[in-house]
Amino acid sequence: MLRITRGEDSKLTSWYFEIDRKLLGLILLLVVISAITMFTAGAAQAARMIPQQPWFYFIKKAIPAYVLGLGCLFGCSMLNKQKVIKVSIVLALVALVGLVITVVHPVWLKGSSRWAHIGRLSFMPADVLKPAFIVLTAWFLAKMRNVFGENMFLNKQAWKFNWLSWWSYLILFFICVFIIFRHPDVGTATLYVCVLFVMTLVAGISLKFMPAMCGILVSLGALAYLFNSHIRDRAKHIFSIEPRSQVWFSLNSIRHGGLFGSGDEAYVKDVLPEATNDCVYAAIAEDWGAIIACALVVLLFMVINNLINHAIYAKDRFVVYALTGAAALFGGQVCFNLMTALHLLLNKGMTLPFISYGGVSFISFCILFGMMLSIIREDTWNR
């Protein structure tokens, strides 16, 4: 019988004993829930497609993303800090090229041009950018702290036009956010701004900057309302529910599930738009009931709590900033998706991390959490 012992000197052995198995286990459990949902909600959604597809349509399409994503999760978790940063630079370059493509050669789908097409390859640059954004922003903040000290936000030298300065970072950041906003993808643009603010807040920025951050978010919302008719139409229904709309079906799906779920009697999800994506939580609530749906929320927030706990005890500022950013990004996207399903927020078209169908989003979060597992392992065992 093969038995791994701590005395063996190999990279695999070190990884096995040093990895945060609790966090890894939580992620794998979310993936299992996602796969089950692809069978249940996916079968219902495939049946109403034109032309009608077999019940295993979505799970079949999701298998390559699961394989590639889990490969990235385990592969990235074995990297060291320097390699994590290098991989992030590559991802950032790919995402930037993708964002440029969405501007010079936009392809509109469902009222948005958020997808970049290169031959047969299609991907969403805003999703590819997420792990790179977290890691490179954490590296930038740590570097600024080392060079300019605790007063890095108000230090005049930090605001000069150099390769390492606030201007160089903020100009690139807001160009990316502006392109994402113009897709239009107001939700993701808002998420990026909020995550950056959380990371800078942890890095020591004064709460006096809070009004400026709120002003940016309000401005994004106002611009979206004024210049995008699709957003304007959605905003008109924020305080009302249009019959047979996506939100109407979502809320009825949740109600029909009751406490213990409808199981084979679940029928609202058969007509629920985006039952495997935007409204996947509603489909889960109808199938399994409110108790299991609430347990899923607890599971998602256990992941956030794990990241925050590691950030509290990390000794490397880079690790603190990266884990905080990952927790804010993951938590923010979870909240956006759940609040949309419950009609507490306008529909943002955001996936539920690790649960929703969506290859690029799933793989991006696998890369992000593989990187977080890697830097947690290195920070913990180098103390």
| 308-319 tens-digit pLDDT | 999 999 999 999
**Tens digits of per-residue pLDDT, 37-50?**
998 888 888 888 87
pLDDT surpasses 50 at 85 = yes
3-state SS track over 237-266: CCCCCCCCCHHHHHHHHHHHHCCCCCHHHC
Q: Does 6 fall in a domain?
A: no
pLDDT at 269 > cutoff 80: no
**Two structure tokens written together for 46:** 């495939």
pLDDT of residue 3: 57
Residue 1, pLDDT above cutoff 50: no
- pLDDT, tens digit, for every residue of 250-266? 888 888 888 888 877 77
Share of the chain above pLDDT 70, in %: 92
Kindly report, residue by residue over 333-371, the tens digit of the pLDDT. 999 999 988 887 776 678 899 999 878 999 999 999 999
| pLDDT for position 312 | 95
Rounded Cα distance between 248 and 83, Å, is 46
Q: Is the pLDDT of residue 177 over 90?
A: yes
Lowest-confidence range among 110-119, 207-216, 225-234, 373-382? 225-234
The mean pLDDT value for 159-169 works out to 89
For residue 308, is it within any domain? yes
Cβ burial, residue 290 (10 Å; 0-12/13-18/19+):
middle
* Helices 317-341 + 359-381 axis angle, to 10: 150
Q: How far apart are CA 381 and CA 56, in angstroms?
A: 43
Model confidence at 235: pLDDT above 70? no
| 10 lies in some domain | no
Residue 361 lies in a domain: yes
pLDDT of residue 313: 93
Q: Bigger pLDDT: 56 or 210?
A: 56
Phi first, then psi, for residue 244 (nearest 5°) are 65, 20
- pLDDT score recorded for residue 6: 59
The tally of domains found in the chain comes to: 1
Q: Is residue 1 part of a domain?
A: no
Q: What is the pLDDT of residue 239?
A: 63
Q: Could you write out the three-class secondary structure of the chain?
A: CCCCCCCCCCHHHHHHHHCCHHHHHHHHHHHHHHHHHHHHHHHHHHHCCCCCCCCCHHHHHHHHHHHHHHHHHHHHHCCCHHHHHHHHHHHHHHHHHHHHHHHHCCCCECCECCCEEECCEEECHHHHHHHHHHHHHHHHHHHHHHHHHHHCCCCHHHHCCCCCCHHHHHHHHHHHHHHHHHCCCHHHHHHHHHHHHHHHHHHCCCHHHHHHHHHHHHHHHHHHHHHCHHHHHHHCCCCCCCCCCHHHHHHHHHHHHCCCCCHHHCCHHHHCCCCCCCCHHHHHHHHHCHHHHHHHHHHHHHHHHHHHHHHHHCCCHHHHHHHHHHHHHHHHHHHHHHHHHCCCCCCCCCCCCCCCCCHHHHHHHHHHHHHHHHHHHHHHHCC
User: Does the pLDDT value for residue 374 go beyond 70?
Assistant: yes
* Cα dihedral 35/348/324/93 (nearest 10): 90
Q: Is residue 152 part of a domain?
A: yes
Q: Mean pLDDT across the chain, nearest whole number?
A: 87
What percent of the chain is modeled with pLDDT above 90? Answer: 50
The number of CA neighbours under 13 Å toward the Cβ of 363 is 20
Check residue 188 and give its pLDDT.
Answer: 92
**CA-angle at 265, arms to 261 and 271, nearest 5°:** 95
Decide if 15 is inside a domain.
Answer: no
Residue 132 lies in a domain: yes
Give the tens place of pLDDT for each residue, 185-200: 888 998 999 999 999 9
Which residues does 86 contact at the CB level (< 8 Å), separation at least 6? none
User: Over 50: is that where the pLDDT of 241 sits?
Assistant: yes
Mean pLDDT of 375-382: 89
Residue 12's pLDDT band (cuts 50, 70, 90): confident
Q: Which residues contact 256 (CB under 8 A, 6 or more apart)?
A: 262, 266, 267, 268, 286
What is the phi/psi pair of residue 116, to 5°?
-105, 135
Average pLDDT over residues 293-298: 96
Instruction: Identify which has the larger pLDDT, 60 or 321.
Output: 321
Of the segments 65-74, 207-216, 221-230, which one has the largest average pLDDT value?
65-74
- pLDDT per position as a tens digit, 142-158: 999 999 988 899 889 98
pLDDT at 89 over 50: yes
- Decide if pLDDT at 277 tops 90: no
Domain region containing 220: 20-232+242-381
